[in-house]
Structure 1
């Protein structure tokens, strides 16, 4: 298991969420599962991914979607080819120009995900995208057990945003 108890810059709530995410990926190793990680702060997403890859012995791949991405399935198959990583993190959904179309096509092609991918798929989403998944891809969204939330208290969110601006 991944040891995250002494990770830097983690609040108790986000450490618990990171542990839940690590556990969900570990339990799903070798089979397809959909894990929704909801975080409204892109910098926080990067921090969690860095912690997971630093403390994990597994092969965690990351895909940052292009704003021009039109289908999630095609973006994944293009990026991984014939490999089957132990886990795959998808970030960048918030930057996709035709997000509604991408979500609708994901719902239509949902069975291909289970047929072709033998690894946990972690979709990093924000609250807006979560709402769109509920409305535009309810069948695909239902495959996710529960959404893992990485909520940041408002005072910390301001600090993270200020750090991102000054970096």
Structure 2
């Protein structure tokens, strides 16, 4: 019970710290393009983090949710972004895209256009699988990202048991 409680507390502390790092990254990049990867495996947790982010940041955040049919990230963002660009742009739903490999490859090819067209930080929410695909299929794009902020923390109880065994 005590281990479970301390693990939950540690998770909350890590989530708050990562959310503050994301808020700081958005503030530092205000008014200019930067690519930030936010790594989180739970869609529900992503929503909780975005709610928490509004407490730490006054940046105007626009969200774009990708559908399974999304073919290109650049065109999707360009058609959905407001006339006045937001302070930050959050893209969620990459894990739902059916042709994710093709989307990642085309995004890598178009990466210079993002900087030309968008003047705000772009946060791509990725899960572990999508992050691995980014590294494999678009290493240039992945390297271009200013940072990867991780919101998933390993289960310390499982780690402790593995160390004891």
Query: TM range, normalised to the smaller chain?
Result: 0.7 to 0.9
Q: Which runs of 5+ in 1 are unaligned?
A: 1-9, 156-167
Q: Which is helix-richer, 1 or 2? A: 2
**By how many angstroms is 1:81 displaced?**
4.4
Q: Name 2:116's counterpart in structure 1.
A: 115
Give the root-mean-square deviation of aligned CA atoms.
2.0
Q: What's the offset of the Cα at 1:135?
A: 1.0
Any unmatched runs of 5+ in structure 2?
1-10, 157-165
CA positional deviation for 1:56: 2.9
Q: How big is each residue's C-alpha offset from its partner over 1:65-89, in whole Å with a ceiling of 9 and x where there is no partner?
A: 0110000001101111433110000
1:158 alignment counterpart:
none
Paired position in structure 1 for 2:83: 82
- Counting only pairs closer than 5 Å after superposition, residues 119-138 of structure 1 correspond to structure 2 as 119-138=120-139
| SS in structure 2 at match of 1:11 | helix
Pairs aligned (count): 149
Spell out, residue by residue over 1:21-71, the C-alpha distance to the aligned partner (whole angstroms, 9 max, x if none).
Answer: 000000000000000000011111000111223443221010110110000
Q: Structure 1 length as normaliser, TM-score?
A: 0.83
Secondary structure of the residue aligned to 1:63 is strand
What is the match of residue 41 of structure 2?
40
